[in-house]
């Protein structure tokens, strides 16, 4: 292996590492995909599904389920 090949290998190592890390992230579902879609509701359902998001048509606000209660997003 000549000097150019050694330098090229050193130069490309961080790029290949970054490519591997990006590929690993892309293979995982996003937070939105894990939580599911946003449901349109007229009344808030019982809380208990942590991470769920709904849009309440009665007041035109988004709400998040903490697992114990609903919290309005402002």
Do 22 and 43 fall into the same domain?
A: no
Residue-wise DSSP of 9-53? HHHHHHHHHHHHHHHHHHHSPPHHHHH-PPEEESSPPPS-STT-E
What integer pLDDT is reported at residue 10 of this predicted model?
Answer: 94
**Beta carbons of 73 and 63 less than 8 angstroms apart:** yes
Do 5 and 20 fall into the same domain?
A: yes
Do 9 and 41 fall into the same domain?
A: no
Q: Which domain holds residue 51?
A: 36-74
Closest-CA residue to 52 (of 29, 39, 61, 72)? 39
Do 28 and 14 fall into the same domain?
A: yes
Residues of the chain with pLDDT under 50: none
Number of domains in the chain: 2
Do 5 and 21 fall into the same domain?
A: yes
Place of tokens 């009344």: 43
What integer pLDDT is reported at residue 35 of this predicted model?
Answer: 66
What integer pLDDT is reported at residue 5 of this predicted model?
Answer: 93
Do 69 and 41 fall into the same domain?
A: yes
């Amino acid at each position: 292996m000549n000097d150019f090949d050694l330098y090229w290998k050193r130069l490309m190592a961080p790029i290949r590492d970054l490519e591997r890390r990006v590929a690993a992230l892309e293979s995982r579902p996003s937070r939105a995909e894990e939580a599911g879609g946003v449901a349109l509701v007229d009344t808030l359902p019982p809380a208990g599904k942590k991470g769920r998001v709904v849009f309440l048509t009665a007041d035109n606000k988004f709400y998040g389920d903490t697992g114990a209660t609903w919290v309005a997003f402002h």
